[in-house]
Structure 1
Amino acid sequence: MILVLIIFLFFLLVGVPVGFSLGIAGLFYFFQHPELPFATIVQLPISQTQSVTLLAVPLFIFAGSLMNSSGITSRLIKLSMQVAGHMRGGMAQVSVVLSTFMGGCSGSSNADAAMEARILGPEMLSQKYPRGYTAVVIGFTSLITSTIPPGVGMILYGTVGEVSIGRLFTAGIMSGLIMMTAMMLTVAITARIRKFPRAREKRASLKEIASSLKETIWALIFPIVLIGSLRLGLFTPSEVGAFACVYAIIIGFFVYKEMTLASLIETLKEAIRDIGAIMFMISMSAIFAYGIPMDQIPQKLTTFITSFTSSQFVVMGIVFVLYVIFGMFMDGSIVILLLTPILMPIVRTIGIDPVLFGVITSIIVTMGILTPPVGIAMYIVNGILDVKMSEYMKESIPFFIVVILVGILLLAIPDVILFLPNLVYGT
Structure 2
Amino acid sequence: MIIVALAFVVLMLMGMPLAFAIGISGTLFFVQHPELPFTIPVQVTVSQTQNFALLAIPLFILAGNLMNRAGVSERLLDLASVLTGRLRGGLAQVSLALSALMGGVSGSAIADAAMQSRMLGEEMGRRGLPKPFAAAVLSFGAILTPIIPPGIGMILYGTIGQVSIGRLFAAGFVPAFLLWLGLAVSVWLTARRRDYPPERTRPLTWRERGTALRGGIWALLFPVFLLLGLRMGVFTPSEIGAFAVIYALLLGVAVYRCLSRDGFVEAMHGGLIDIGSVIFLIALSAIFSYGIVFERVPEMIAQGITGMTDNLQLVMILIVAVVIVTGFFIDATVLIIMLTPIFLPLVRQLGGDPVHFGMVFIVAATIGNFTPPVGAAMYAVCSIMKVPIGAYSREAVPLLAAVALVTLALIFLPEVVLFLPNLIFG
CA deviation profile, 1:235-272 (whole Å, cap 9, x unmatched): 11111111100110011011111111221011100111
Q: Which residue of 1 aligns with 2:275?
A: 275
* Corresponding letter in the other structure for 1:364: A
* Corresponding letter in the other structure for 2:36: L
Q: Which residue of 2 aligns with 1:393?
A: 393
**Partners of 2:61 and 2:275 within 8 A in 1:** yes
Q: Secondary structure at the match of 2:105?
A: coil
CA distance in 2, matches of 1:195, 1:228: 44
Task: Give the number of aligned pairs.
Answer: 426
**Partners of 2:71 and 2:256 within 8 A in 1:** yes
CA distance in 2, matches of 1:179, 1:261: 37
So what's the TM-score if we normalise by structure 1? 0.98
**Partners of 1:136 and 1:392 within 8 A in 2:** yes
Q: Which residue of 2 aligns with 1:310?
A: 310
CA distance in 1, matches of 2:203, 2:377: 32
Deviation at 1:209, TM superposition (A): 1.3
Q: Which residue of 2 aligns with 1:91?
A: 91
Deviation at 1:182, TM superposition (A): 1.1
Q: How does 1:10-409 map to 2 (within 5 A)?
A: 10-409=10-409
**Partners of 1:369 and 1:378 within 8 A in 2:** yes
Flag structure 1 segments of 5+ consecutive residues without an equivalent: none
* Corresponding letter in the other structure for 2:149: P
CA distance in 2, matches of 1:329, 1:276: 22
**Partners of 1:364 and 1:403 within 8 A in 2:** no
* Corresponding letter in the other structure for 2:380: I
Corresponding position: 1:3 with 2:3: yes
Q: Secondary structure at the match of 1:290?
A: helix
* Corresponding letter in the other structure for 1:301: I
CA deviation profile, 1:62-84 (whole Å, cap 9, x unmatched): 10111110011100011111111
307-316 or 73-82, larger mean C-alpha shift = 307-316
CA distance in 2, matches of 1:206, 1:283: 52
Q: Secondary structure at the match of 2:374?
A: coil
Deviation at 1:298, TM superposition (A): 1.0
CA distance in 1, matches of 2:205, 2:174: 27
* Corresponding letter in the other structure for 2:230: L
26-35 or 208-217, larger mean C-alpha shift = 208-217
CA distance in 1, matches of 2:308, 2:137: 39
CA distance in 2, matches of 1:408, 1:232: 33
CA deviation profile, 1:49-73 (whole Å, cap 9, x unmatched): 1111111111111101111100111
* Corresponding letter in the other structure for 1:360: V
CA deviation profile, 1:267-301 (whole Å, cap 9, x unmatched): 10011111111111111101111111111111121
Q: Secondary structure at the match of 1:402?
A: helix
CA distance in 1, matches of 2:327, 2:90: 31
* Corresponding letter in the other structure for 2:67: M
* Corresponding letter in the other structure for 1:407: T
So what's the TM-score if we normalise by structure 2? 0.98
CA distance in 1, matches of 2:42, 2:310: 41
Identity over aligned pairs, percent: 45
Deviation at 1:350, TM superposition (A): 2.2
CA distance in 2, matches of 1:153, 1:111: 14
CA distance in 2, matches of 1:361, 1:207: 42
* Corresponding letter in the other structure for 1:140: F
**Partners of 1:82 and 1:203 within 8 A in 2:** no
CA distance in 2, matches of 1:247, 1:371: 34
Flag structure 2 segments of 5+ consecutive residues without an equivalent: none
CA deviation profile, 1:113-159 (whole Å, cap 9, x unmatched): 01110111111111221111111000001111111000000000000
CA distance in 1, matches of 2:179, 2:87: 18
Q: Secondary structure at the match of 1:120?
A: helix
**Partners of 1:312 and 1:352 within 8 A in 2:** yes
CA distance in 1, matches of 2:129, 2:205: 27
CA distance in 2, matches of 1:350, 1:405: 24
Superposition RMSD in Å? 1.0
Deviation at 1:412, TM superposition (A): 1.1
**Partners of 2:132 and 2:391 within 8 A in 1:** yes
CA distance in 1, matches of 2:314, 2:385: 39
CA deviation profile, 1:327-359 (whole Å, cap 9, x unmatched): 122221110010000001211122221101111
Deviation at 1:314, TM superposition (A): 2.3
* Corresponding letter in the other structure for 2:120: L
CA distance in 2, matches of 1:372, 1:277: 22
* Corresponding letter in the other structure for 1:413: L
